[in-house]
Amino acid sequence: MNRFLDVWRHSVLGRHLLTALVGLAVVVVVLESVGDFRALQLAAMAYLGIAAGGLTVLTGINGQISLGHGALMAFGAYTTALLLDDPTSSMPISLVVLASTAVALVVGTAVGVAAARLHGPYLAGATLALAIAVPGIALYFGSFLGGEQGLRVSLPDVPVWALDLEYLLTGTEMSRSQYVAYLGWITLIVTFVLLANLARGRVGRRWRAVRDDEVSAELAGIRLGRARISAFMVSAAAAGAAGSVLAITARLAAPSGFTIVLSLTLLTAVVLGGLGYLSGALIGAGLLTFLPPFVTRIGGDAGLSDIRSAELAPLVYGLVMVLVILLAPAGLVGTTRMSLAGRRARRQMAAAGAASKTGSPATTTHQHDSSDEHDPGTPQASGPTTPKGSTR
Amino acid sequence: MNTALGGLTLGAVYAAFALALVLIFRSTRIVNFAQAPMAMVTTFIALTLIDAGYSYWIGFAAALLSGLVLGAVIERVVIRPVEDKPEINAVILTLGLFITLHALAAVIFGNRFRSFPAPFGLRGLEVGGTTIRLTTSGIFTIVAVATVMVLLLLLFRYTDVGLRMRASAYNPEVARLLGVRVGRMLTLGWALAAVVGSLSGLLIASGGLVHPGYMDSIVVYGFVAAVLGGLESPVGAVVGGLTLGLSLSFVSGYLGSELVALAALLILMLVLTLKPGGLFAVASARRV
């Protein structure tokens, strides 16, 4: 147990790997206890989460906005569809996902080089143009890319080892939907560990420095262009992996799946959860997956037609997006963290204030106050010192 | 020849839309990505009136008027609070508005395609026995955009309000010291821009089909047109709009309509990399 705590405290990679293991365990428990419908929903949450995670790195950590991530997902999805065009293809699925990631990475590099020179609204406009342009490419090369109908994705059989493992663990057969969901979530966990490590490490510090103050970053020897391009590449790669999982989940790669709406949806997930927090991207993806059916049902109960109530979900996203920016720009995770940190800081200040006021014989009071600090359950119980300190 | 004429008509519409973007960018440093859905909503208001039996022109006027109100309300309620926040907040905000208005229109007006009447004929004019592709409606489009341009020019150049608006856009602090109600001028700027945007929405819709997403790609073309002109200059926006309309019309005629958006992207990237200040930039852009 102590060793675990040691790893948790001192090694960033170790902490991320431990979190990933816990996450994997949760995924296994959840996926084993839900039916096929929920499993596919969870797979959808996984691909939204992967893409939103990539976008979080780009927008939240590096400060570049992209409305073209839906288009980058299209490159991943079409690659997957082309590689999995007949059920007898023997290519391992992990290789397919990797190849899709690589294709999106190449495209993302090209876009990133151009984007590195653009700022704020210019960058948003350029990537918006990308989101509008890409579905047209699929239509133009209709004979190769299937035109409006798109390309079917034929999922190869569940590998024997996975079937065996499932039988060994639970004594049941693994369904295809479950297999797809596992695929999505394992991809998500791998992506998030990689992204989290990048974001915490030296590269991430550079990205943040460029976001916060270009001039100081440049003075500190950071190459702005290189930092921006690398952030774009990383997030494009994540979008490619997400597109691949999307194609496998939907068994289809079609232009109608990658409209501007998808790109805006991804941005909604990132803003909702909190710009810059990977956990926020995951929460955002979850909301985007599970909120629509819920809101649509409410609309149906209120007497709206099916098509109209289906539009209630985007209405809610849009409103929430506006409200989050106006009221809590840090998003769900950011706001929660800030209020927790704020409370802690206030309590520390209260303790310090009490100590300094009473002078040197107050060591006992100080100890008394700091013991309150470890008792988050009774913030009111810390006596009259807290309100006094907080007004400072 | 026919391609060029079609491009000119289209270019006039892009120009109007780009003009709306420029009006807002000049005064508030925000690219209003919600411009397209705002125009779409007002077009639907016009369509509802026309379907209810009123004449085309009543619908037209109602759309422009509702544009005015919508623009003012959005500036006051949503945009004002983020004025001195980081750029990215404003961008995300207008995108949130984009989604909201889009979905709201779909809930209220339905999601299907509906035909929108044209004010004038849609048949090509006959010149010396051959039919050219310039329609009466096309001429109306060009005349309407030209009228708006002239009106805006007169407003900015020769009226007191126009002068105050220019002052607030150029240097809000100094304008405020001189007694200009800068906030009001910004609201007015947004309202005017929304009117121009509504006009472009009506012109695109006439004789065609409308549904909540019919303007979505226009925001991109309008943006490209505005960037061609440098995002700051109304005249640049119009020239950019016409240039873009012509080029895209040729792409659509010779290469295929699927590639129009891709061509717009390429033009945008080319302009932004070679001349980031726009084709018509005189002084280097002010960086804040």
Residues A10-31 pLDDT 10s: 777 778 888 888 888 888 888 8
Q: The tokens of A199 are what?
A: 């974001």
- Closest-CA residue of A relative to B100 is A318
CB A46, CB A185: distance < 8 Å: yes
| H helix intervals, chain A | 2-10, 12-33, 36-55, 69-83, 93-115, 120-140, 142-145, 160-170, 176-200, 202-212, 214-219, 224-250, 260-273, 278-301, 306-310, 312-327, 331-358, 363-373, 385-390
Q: CA-CA distances (angstroms) from residue B18 to A26, A129, B72, B224?
A: 51, 15, 19, 8
Give the pLDDT confidence score for residue A235 in this predicted structure: 94
Give the pLDDT confidence score for residue A49 in this predicted structure: 94
For residue B85, the SS3 value is coil
Q: How high is the ipTM of this complex?
A: 0.82
Asked if pLDDT for residue A126 goes beyond 90, the answer is: no
Q: Which of residues 141-180 of B touch A (CB under 8 A)?
A: none
Q: How far apart are CA A349 and CA A370, in angstroms?
A: 10
| Residue B278: CA count within 13 A, CB half-sphere | 29
Q: CA-CA distances (angstroms) from residue B273 to A119, A122, A202, B266?
A: 12, 11, 29, 11
- Closest-CA residue of A relative to B31 is A121
Asked if pLDDT for residue A133 goes beyond 80, the answer is: yes
Nearest-by-Cβ selection for B95 from A119, A120, A267: A267
Q: How far apart are CA A105 and CA B99, in angstroms?
A: 28
Nearest chain A CA: its distance from B69 CA (Å): 19
Instruction: Give the whole-number percent of chain A exceeding pLDDT 70.
Output: 86
Return the ∠ at Cα A106 (arms to A104 and A110), rounded to 5°: 110
User: Which residues from chain B sit within 8 angstroms of residue A121, using beta carbons?
Assistant: 25, 30-31, 87, 91
What stretch of H or E contains B265? Answer: helix B260-274
Residues B42-68, mean pLDDT to the nearest whole number: 89
Query: Which residues is B124 bridged to in the sheet?
Result: B135
Whether B99 sits inside 8 A of A307 (CB atoms) is: no
The number of residues making up chain B comes to 288
Q: Which of residues 82-111 of B touch A (CB under 8 A)?
A: 82, 85, 87-89, 91-93, 95-104, 106-107, 110-111
Residues B57-66, mean pLDDT to the nearest whole number: 90
- Closest-CA residue of B relative to A111 is B269
User: Which residues from chain A sit within 8 angstroms of residue B100, using beta carbons?
Assistant: 315, 318-319, 321-322
Give the pLDDT confidence score for residue A190 in this predicted structure: 93
The closest alpha carbon to A50, from A307, A291, A240, belongs to A240
The closest alpha carbon to A42, from A28, A53, A54, A56, belongs to A28
Q: CA-CA distances (angstroms) from residue A351 to A344, A363, A368, A375, B164?
A: 11, 11, 9, 13, 54
Q: How far apart are CA B267 and CA B284, in angstroms?
A: 20
Counting one residue from A and one from B, how many pairs have CB atoms under 8 Å apart? 143
Q: Is some CB atom of chain B closer than 8 A to the CB atom of A302?
A: no
Nearest-by-Cβ selection for B93 from A120, A304, A322: A322
Whether B106 sits inside 8 A of A308 (CB atoms) is: yes
Q: How far apart are CA A311 and CA A299, in angstroms?
A: 9
Q: DSSP string spanning A160-215?
A: HHHHHHHHHHHSSPPPHHHHHHHHHHHHHHHHHHHHHHHHHSHHHHHHHHHHH-HH
Nearest-by-Cβ selection for B99 from A119, A321, A329: A321
- CA terminus-to-terminus distance, chain A: 41
Residues A329-336, mean pLDDT to the nearest whole number: 76
Give the pLDDT confidence score for residue A358 in this predicted structure: 55
pLDDT tens digits, residue range B12-35?
888 888 888 888 888 788 888 899
Nearest-by-Cβ selection for B100 from A130, A309, A315: A315
Give the pLDDT confidence score for residue B65 in this predicted structure: 92
The closest alpha carbon to B46, from B183, B166, B164, B204, belongs to B204
What stretch of H or E contains B131? Answer: strand B130-135
Cα B184 to chain centroid, rounded: 22
Cα A371 to chain centroid, rounded: 37
Q: The tokens of A329 are what?
A: 């720009």
- Closest-CA residue of B relative to A329 is B89
CB B230, CB B277: distance < 8 Å: yes
User: Greatest CA separation found in chain B?
Assistant: 64
Q: How far apart are CA B256 and CA B265, in angstroms?
A: 15
Residues A87-116, mean pLDDT to the nearest whole number: 86
Residues B227-245, mean pLDDT to the nearest whole number: 85
